[in-house]
Amino acid sequence: MIIAYLAGIFLLSILLATVIIPRILFISYKKRLFDVPDSRKVHKTPIPRLGGLSFLPVILIALCSVTGIRYYTNHPVDMLWASDLFIQYLFLIVGLTLLYLVGVADDLVGVGYRYKFVIQILAALLFPLSGLWINDLGGLLGLHEIPAYIGMPLTVFLTVYITNAINLIDGIDGLASGLSCIALGLLIIVCALVGQWTHAFLAAATLGVVITFYYYNVFSVSGRKLFMGDAGSLTLGYILSFLVLHFWQKTQLWDPFTMNLNMVTVSTLLIPLLDVVRVFYSRVSEGRNPFTPDKNHIHHRLLRTGMKVRTVMITLLMLSLFFVVSNFILSFYINTTFMLLLDLAFWLTTHFIIRYFIMKHETATGRKWYKTYRNFFW
């Protein structure tokens, strides 16, 4: 019966998103609420960026409706988790609302990165306040149980980190939403396997609206295309951080480290997480503000190799799936530290390969330009 509820919340989310997103498109075109292209952006024509407005309402309606139906049919939420989950979900909704509102403001009129950063920190502080914080590293770097004065700040940092990573990777069609779909799909499976059905329901409600948005973002013809904007990316990042952090908290009723589930769930977000580190390091090493936007993200670098936008998106989604599958297999044989080291080694190797093809493509382009220039004048 519980699987039926899970499928129901997923389908309800898709249905609601299918109804709401076309209305957002209509309003965007009527009021001319567009994301205007500039030198840093990939798209060449104005496109609405309010797709993320649908995320929070759809998720809450689907999640709360199905949870209410469960109670009416005498299938209450997981009793072992009820006392803690109720408080955690209340604070989750508060944090989501804060980020959603600042995201809407940024999509409509623009908001400075400092103000957004402060709101992100306030929203992240709600997790430790609700009782959700990292209290064990599961053997990562040889560390296990950690005290609250380390775990709570670490939780806030990682929440802001993940939220920003999803925001910053949202640079080409289907990338942020596609990576989020992979992460949410795995989280549904893992949460269902360990009996955390409420978290599985949250992931399913989120996946339903994101898949629907993915269709409009990637496959829609001109006039029906839209971006998620900050309202969507901040909402997605906060929900993903909430779900992933549960696999870094050990309780009397729950030990996620027996199956290395902590690293398996993080593997779904490795591309945006590692890309943020590389980009911020590059900006700081050049003496620039790390929050200043540029065209140095991994999708920009792949575009410089000569790939088309759609090919770049598919390549990065396949790379994310590789991380997920390989880490899941490795979790049965090696510990989290070796798993992380292998992931980092593969990531560095990938960037050396990308750099090689960038140089090859730019050299070939330079030769082509020289021949054209010579033929024009001679």
- Residue 230 assigned ligand-binding role: yes
| Cβ-based neighbours of 257, under 8 Å, separated by 6 or more | 136, 138, 139, 250
Facing residues of 34 across strands? 48
What would the two tokens of residue 196 be? 């955390």
Chain mean position to CA 217: 16
The crossing angle, in degrees rounded to 10, of helices 197-218 and 55-72 is: 140
Which amino acid does the sequence have at 57? P
Return d(Cα 13, Cα 263) in angstroms, integer. Answer: 28
Report the 10 Å Cβ neighbour count for 232: 33
| Closest CA relative to residue 179, chosen from 320, 68, 311, 351 | 320
Report the 10 Å Cβ neighbour count for 377: 6
Positive or negative, the Cα torsion across 64, 65, 68, 73? negative
Return d(Cα 100, Cα 103) in angstroms, integer. Answer: 5
Q: Are 236 and 176 in contact (CB under 8 A)?
A: yes
Which amino acid does the sequence have at 264? V
| Closest CA relative to residue 124, chosen from 103, 101, 154, 146 | 154
Burial 26-48 (b: 16+ CB within 10 A, else e): eebeeeebbbeeeeeeeeeeebb
**Which 8-state DSSP code applies to residue 221?**
P
Facing residues of 254 across strands? 251
Residue in this structure with the two tokens 């992380």, named with its chain if needed: 340
| Closest CA relative to residue 266, chosen from 311, 172, 174, 330 | 330
Binding site feature residues for Mg(2+): 167, 230
Which residues are part of a known binding site? 167, 230
